[in-house]
Amino acid sequence: MRKRIFFNSEKGKMRSFYIKDNVCTPYKLILNRINNYLMANDMVPTTNQSEADVVIIGTCGAFKSLEDEAVGFIEAARTGMKSGAELVVFGCLPGINMKRIRPFSPNRVIPSFNWTDVKALIEDPAVPLKDIPEATGFRGKEDHRLYDPGKQFILLQTGCSSDCPFCPHKLGIGNLKSVPPESIFYQIRNLEKKVHTICLAGNDTGSYGTDIGTTYPELLKKIIGEFDFQIHLSQINADWVHVYRDELWPLLMDKKVREFQVLIQSTSNRVLALMDRKPVVTGLKPYFKKLRVSRRDLILRTDLIIGYPTATEQEDLSSVEFVAEIFDEVAVHGFERVKHARIEKMGLPFYSAAQIDERVEKVMGYLRRFPHILAHRGGQVIRTLEAIEKPKNELRKRLNAGFTCKDRGQDAE
C-alpha cells in the first residue's frame, strides 16, 4: 500500500475530488452523501479525473462483469491521475476480492461495511459527516437507469441479516445496519414537492429494524399512514415476506404501494436449504396468487439463481415456471463462484461456467414465451439494467390502464 497522502494542493487553492462508480442504489446514495460531505468541507467536485486531488472509485463485485468494470475504473484512475493525487477505492470489491485492487496501490481503501471511514478524508472537518443528511438521490442523471427527478430513494439500511454461503454481496457489505426511523421520516418529510414516488432502498430491507428494536412492517405502516407518495418496495428476501406475511398483507393492499420486489432465488426446498434460506417459497404461492388478483396494478419483481451447485435442470425449471405464473419482472442470474465465499468449503460439486450459461440460455428462451414478463440477466450483463427501465415504464402504463392477470396469460384465483 502506498504511503497515505493527505490533501497537499497548493496553499489557498480549494482541493478537488472526482468520483466514479458502478455500485448499486444504497451505495450510490452513500456516495452522494460523501459528495455532499466533501463539498460542505470546502472541497470542489470535478468531472476531470486528471485534475482531481482525490479520486474516489466506488466498486461493485457482485458479478465477474461488474468486478472487471470496477477494476477498469481503478486502472484508468491510476494511470490518468495527476502526480500527488490520492486514489481512494470505496465499495464492496475490497471485501470480495482485495487481490484485484492491491496491484494499483490505492492510498486508501474504504470498504462498504466501514463506509463511515470516509470521515477521515477531511482532517478536522468544519461540518462532520453526522450533520450531512442522508441523500435521497444520486450524484448525477447518468447514475439513473431512467432519470426521473420525481422518484427518490430512501435508504432504510445497509448490510444483510442473512449469511448465505454463496453471496458476494455479504462479503462486501457486512451485517445489517438500520437507519433510525427518525432519520427516515426526516428524509421523506424534506422531499421536494415534485417528488411522486419513493423507493425504500437497501440490501436486505425486509430485515429492517431487527437490530434497533423495530420491524419493516411497522415502518411501512407509518410511512403509508403519513405520506401520499407512490411507494416501491425493493430487495426483500422471501424469508422476511414469510415471517411478516400477515402484517404485510393489508399494507400491500394499499394502492400507494406500486412495486414489490421479493427475492426468491429458487423454489426448491432442497436448494434453498443449501443456500441457508428457509423452505418457504412454494408455501407462499397462494399468497402471491391472491396478491396478483387483489392488486392487478402492482408490479411484482424477483431474482433467480440458475445452476446453483447440485440444482437439477428440473429444479431450475420449476423455479422459472413459478416465476412465470406470478411475477412481472425477473433478473436471472447464472451462479458464479466467489473465491472467499463459504460455499467453496462445503464440498459441493460445481457446474462449469459453460453448463450454467447453457442453462441460463434455456431459461431465457423459456421466459421469452411470456412477452409480458421483463426477463433480464441483471448485473451479469452490465447494460441490461438500463435497458429494462423503459419497458418497465411501459408496463406501468399498461397496468394503470387496466391490464389484468388474464392479459398476463394467468388464471390466478
The reply to whether 70 sits near ligand SF4 by the rule CB under 6 A is no
Specify burial of residue 394 (Cβ count, 10 A radius: 0-12, 13-18, 19+).
exposed
Residue closest to 153 by CA, chosen among 212, 114, 118, 203 = 203
From the list 15, 100, 139, 169, which residue makes contact with ligand SF4 (rule: CB under 6 A)? 169
Euclidean distance between CA atoms 134 and 130, whole angstroms: 9
- 32-61 positions binding ligand SF4, by CB under 6 A: 60-61
- 84-143 positions binding ligand SF4, by CB under 6 A: 91-92, 112
* Complex with ligand SF4: residue 139 or 295, whichever CB lies closer: 139
The reply to whether 27 sits near ligand SF4 by the rule CB under 6 A is yes
The reply to whether 31 sits near ligand SF4 by the rule CB under 6 A is no
- Identity of the residue numbered 403: F
CB 236 within 8 A of CB 261: yes
The reply to whether 24 sits near ligand SF4 by the rule CB under 6 A is yes
* Complex with ligand SF4: residue 172 or 206, whichever CB lies closer: 172
Specify burial of residue 143 (Cβ count, 10 A radius: 0-12, 13-18, 19+).
middle
* Complex with ligand SF4: residue 73 or 370, whichever CB lies closer: 73
Euclidean distance between CA atoms 98 and 171, whole angstroms: 11
CB of 175 to ligand SF4, least distance (A): 13
- Across 275-303, b (16+ Cβ under 10 Å) vs e yields bebbebbbebeebbbebbeebbebbbbbb
Stretch that binds ligand SF4, among 19-27, 100-108, 300-308, 364-372 (CB under 6 A): 19-27
Sign for the CA dihedral angle at 72, 75, 79, 84 comes to: positive
From the list 173, 195, 320, 323, which residue makes contact with ligand SF4 (rule: CB under 6 A)? 173
Q: Three-class SS of residue 230? A: strand
- 194-213 positions binding ligand SF4, by CB under 6 A: 203
Count of residues that bind ligand SF4 according to CB under 6 A: 14
CB of 208 to ligand SF4, least distance (A): 16
- Catalog residues that contact ligand SF4 under the rule CB under 6 A: 23-24, 27, 60-62, 91-92, 112, 168-169, 172-173, 203
